Structure 1
Amino acid sequence: MNRVAGIRRYPLKSAAAEHLDEAEIGKHGLDGDRTWACLDADDTIGSAKQPRLWAGLLDIAAAYEPARGDASERVVVTAPNGAGGDAGEPEADAAVSDWLGRPVRLTRTAPQQLRRHHWWPDEPGMIPEWAADAEPGGDALVAAGHDAAGGRFFDFGALHLVTTGAIRRLSAEHGTDVDPIRFRPNLVLDLPDDPEPGRRIAIGDAVVLEVLVPTPRCVIPSIAHGPNPKDPGLLKTLARHHRVDVPGFGRATCFGFYADVVSGGTVRTGDPVATG
């Protein structure tokens, strides 16, 4: 039976994942997902797509606690050295700033001009057709995504997913096991293939998703993620085997896919999954 193999949430954009047994999915995605971001001194938000500035965020833990009774929802941020606090409080800002080595602050309010730094990989094939003027190996200031209605710092869709079948094929192409966490998905589905855009995915009794587009890849899969060391050769494998047409955009090196939420509910690891 096809099933949910993993659930991941990222309460702080570009921070480490929470590995969950269950979560609530609403029209804006997983409850608590990417509700906070780091803001740098130049008013750009933190994204590990520029690892020179933000790779250290991948080592920061962020845990979402929903509102219960009289207690408001909160996100607890913890640096690898144990320092931290509630997002929005000075202790959390200080812990993340100390870890990154420069002053930053956490915010859940998007700046009026929402931008981020983006490093364009110099591996051939890693720049999408719609960014043909980008300089390989160069830094650029680009517009950042934000779901204003849901208060989420999303790059594109409400949910990002990968399938076990695609991961197995990539591991074979790459010659070593590839951990799905390198792609920072919300859901890992035990399916033989990625569903095509427009297809629907039913999960459990209530959740229905609609596939949008394949996910264009950046440098993030190749940098260190917790116990997973740097693997720059992964970009070569992706560019060689996974450059595809993104409907409405052009060709790009992609892995995984974005989806919108048609109907929400509770999702649990082990829930049955059906595509149609």
Structure 2
Amino acid sequence: MRLSDLYLYPIKSSAPLETQMAMVEPRGLQHDRRWMVVDAENRFRTGRELPRLTLVRAQPVPTGLSLNAPGMPSLSVPFPQTDATVSVNVWKNEVAAKPAGAAAEAWLSEFLQQPARLVHMDAGVSRAISDPHSQAGDEVSFADAFPLLLISRAALDGLNARLAKPVSMLRFRPNLVVDGVAAHAEDGWKRIRIGEVEFEVAKACTRCVFTTVDPMSGERDPDGEPLRTLIGYRRTAGGVTFGQNLIPRSAGSVRVGDAVEVLA
């Protein structure tokens, strides 16, 4: 088994950033989901409500982010240079985040066609994982619930064999894609090592309407796919699942091509 693909999403719900190597931090891959879009009431906004957000390409740079999107000029967004924070909502969590400023707000509002603000989670902020599968001290970025998401390549192949029109792995927004294993083998894993990093396999990822958004077009599938097909064979008592959520249990780097070892 090998790590075949590695992705970051610098802004929650933004376009995927494919990379060959990433550092693993307690809250997930370095640069992954450290920024987030919120509305005027500081509630988090995602591709579920704003499919066009998946077209925003955010590139981490030493000074902050570089933003690009179709029909928009590039924008450099510096890390917020202020101690002031705002309390933003992420599901049931309230997180102290720093506003990115008026330029980012104007740029995003124009592209998303509604009021939108950009906020940043810096190293001084800790958001605890709100799940019984976690341990004391476990933390997460602006991701929905867990630091990382892993999916086997064969799981996607099995889904696409059932679909009239195949979909990309990016419909499911994984961080880690594993090749050389049977479809959904990850459902039975408890602990794994990828390269030099160990991970706890915490919980299956429950899927929602976001899977129907095509990240290449920023539009929803008119037939509700692939969620409609997944409901037919991946529904459990806890919902429709596809992929596994991970919690890092050590630090280090992961690289495309790294061996994947099942420890338990």
Q: TM (normalized to structure 2)?
A: 0.78
Kindly indicate whether residue 107 of structure 2 is the aligned counterpart of residue 107 of structure 1: no
Kindly indicate whether residue 54 of structure 2 is the aligned counterpart of residue 58 of structure 1: yes
Kindly indicate whether residue 193 of structure 2 is the aligned counterpart of residue 202 of structure 1: yes
Kindly indicate whether residue 206 of structure 2 is the aligned counterpart of residue 221 of structure 1: no
Q: TM (normalized to structure 1)?
A: 0.74
Match of 1:164 in 2: 153
Aligned amino acid, residue 199 of structure 1? K
Mark the CA change 1:228 to 1:99 in structure 2 (over 3 Å): closer, same or farther. closer
Cα distance in 1 for partners of 2:158, 2:176 equals 18
Q: 2:227 aligns with which of 225, 235, 255?
A: 235
| CA deviations over 1:111-165 (Å, ceiling 9, x no partner) | xxx9xxxxxxxxxxxxxxxxxxxxxxxxxxxxxxxxx986721211110111111
Match of 1:133 in 2: none
Root-mean-square deviation (Å): 2.3
Match of 2:106 in 1: 94
Kindly indicate whether residue 258 of structure 2 is the aligned counterpart of residue 271 of structure 1: yes
> Between the two proteins, what is the percent identity of the paired residues?
29
Match of 2:167 in 1: 178
Match of 2:76 in 1: 85
C-alpha contact 1:159 1:259 (8 A) present in aligned 2: yes
Cα distance in 2 for partners of 1:82, 1:196 equals 41
Aligned amino acid, residue 236 of structure 1? R
Aligned amino acid, residue 4 of structure 1? L
Cα distance in 1 for partners of 2:233, 2:218 equals 22
Cα distance in 2 for partners of 1:228, 1:271 equals 32
C-alpha contact 2:186 2:243 (8 A) present in aligned 1: no
Match of 2:37 in 1: 38
C-alpha contact 2:55 2:218 (8 A) present in aligned 1: no
| CA deviations over 1:74-96 (Å, ceiling 9, x no partner) | 12222222422215243322211
Aligned amino acid, residue 18 of structure 1? L
Aligned amino acid, residue 106 of structure 2? A
What are the ranges of 5 or more consecutive residues in structure 1 without an aligned counterpart? 115-147, 245-249
Mark the CA change 1:37 to 1:228 in structure 2 (over 3 Å): closer, same or farther. closer
C-alpha contact 1:197 1:213 (8 A) present in aligned 2: no
C-alpha contact 1:213 1:258 (8 A) present in aligned 2: yes
Aligned residue pair count: 224
Q: CA deviation at 1:227?
A: 5.1
Kindly indicate whether residue 168 of structure 2 is the aligned counterpart of residue 212 of structure 1: no
Cα distance in 1 for partners of 2:138, 2:235 equals 32
C-alpha contact 1:195 1:275 (8 A) present in aligned 2: no
Cα distance in 2 for partners of 1:149, 1:214 equals 17
Match of 1:6 in 2: 5
SS at match of 2:162: helix
Cα distance in 1 for partners of 2:76, 2:67 equals 5
C-alpha contact 1:21 1:268 (8 A) present in aligned 2: yes
Cα distance in 2 for partners of 1:263, 1:255 equals 25
Mark the CA change 1:49 to 1:227 in structure 2 (over 3 Å): closer, same or farther. closer
Aligned amino acid, residue 114 of structure 2? R
